[in-house]
Structure 1
């Protein structure tokens, strides 16, 4: 006679652990964004989830690791967005704009917002190299998309480094002023901003 085991399988345990870890990170990133890293304690994060701080240590070593994981999640979303944009059909301008739309939306979400609101000096010296490496990867991906668009003539010739700084700088700001409860959705803001910014990239007659 077969029966269903009352014990969770290793896969179920791993899935549950991942879900709990993700819940800790989501609660933490929202507090970091609202209060700031230094004004947020792991006790605050634990209380918001109805658990003890000790429980958090089952999933993450300390507050610095929590912050590093939060910004890493946001940075990885941007890297994935750049990869997806480069695989799309269309000319270089189209692929660049697709990435910029996604970039703007991500920086208005919890983990993307945390990237913009976190200066690298807040991270521990051990965490800073990874933060810098991921940010550089995104910068190089953006420069690459700009260069491809210049090469196929779909945008005007520009210095890719300066153009990347200008575009990213402008698209980072909604992370500070966008109100999730406001009348404009992240999608609407992204389209409006990118439209304004890319007018200057139009090919010259």
Structure 2
């Protein structure tokens, strides 16, 4: 009929941005499933066949996103590291004395440790990685330690933290925080934020200088 206009046909291929978004979403789904299985069943006991089966895809389809199981593990580590590093960068830009920054670091570290990608940094053995990848993971971990040591040293210098050895104090703090990744469950009585606040308080009680303790007591009395 001459009076009707022909409906435009949809292009045979999705726009580039849509295709890229769909690919990213599928890649993220592979990572989320894999990290859960690595944590629940262990890296060695998890196979790519099992990951693919859980996602209801074929094993060859996984290779569209990752070349190997090690590549998936490397990316899981990287995502955990990125969360830590973003928090460190934000805290370093903020004002406050050393004790304030230390508490923010503890709170941020604890919350990352309650995520799957944070947990993989302490529950999965980086010796499974190639030499180069393992070196990158361990370099990142030294960055976290350095951030804690810097905050403690700043606190000692500005008087908000009692004189302490920054290296030893950092080992005590990070040892406690890393253990969160072993026992935390999201269905527990306290939320991740509440637990992080509690750790920030408890892990600095013995470090805070007297004036800082008095300041906190005054705040609590109001």
Task: Please state which band the TM-score falls in when normalised by the shorter chain.
Answer: over 0.9
CA RMSD, 1 decimal: 1.9
Distance of 2:202 and 2:195 partners within structure 1: 11
Determine whether 1:62 maps to 2:68: yes
Indicate which of 93, 112, 118 corresponds to 2:118. 112
Aligned to 1:156: 162
Q: Which of 187, 196, 199 does residue 190 from structure 1 map onto?
A: 196
Deviates more, 1:69-78 or 1:3-12: 3-12
Other-structure match for 2:94: 88
Q: Determine if contact 1:142/1:164 at 8 Å carries over to the other structure.
A: yes
Unaligned runs of 5+ in 1: none
Q: Distance in 1 between matches of 2:81 and 2:148?
A: 13
Between 1:69-78 and 1:155-164, the stretch displaced more is 155-164
Q: TM-score, normalized by length of structure 2? A: 0.85
The answer to whether residue 122 in structure 2 is matched with residue 146 in structure 1 is: no
Give the distance between the partners of 2:85 and 2:170, measured in 1 at CA: 15
Larger radius of gyration: 2
Aligned match of 1:48: 54
For structure 1, which segment, 157-166 or 6-15, has the greater mean C-alpha deviation from structure 2 after superposition?
A: 6-15
Gaps of at least 5 residues in structure 2 are: 212-222
Report the secondary structure of 1:126's partner residue: helix
User: Contact conserved, 1:68 with 1:123, CA < 8 A, in 2?
Assistant: yes
Does residue 28 of the first structure (1) align with residue 34 of the second (2)? yes
Q: Would you say the 8 A contact 1:29–1:110 is kept in 2?
A: yes
Q: Secondary structure at the match of 1:199?
A: coil
2:106 corresponds, among 100, 105, 119, to 100
What is aligned with 1:175? 181
Shift of residue 131, structure 1, vs aligned partner: 1.0
State TM-score, norm by structure 1: 0.92
- In the alignment, what sits opposite 2:217? none
Check if 1:13 corresponds to 2:23.
no
| Pairwise CA distance, 1:6 | 5.1
Runs of 4+ that moved beyond 3 A: 1-6
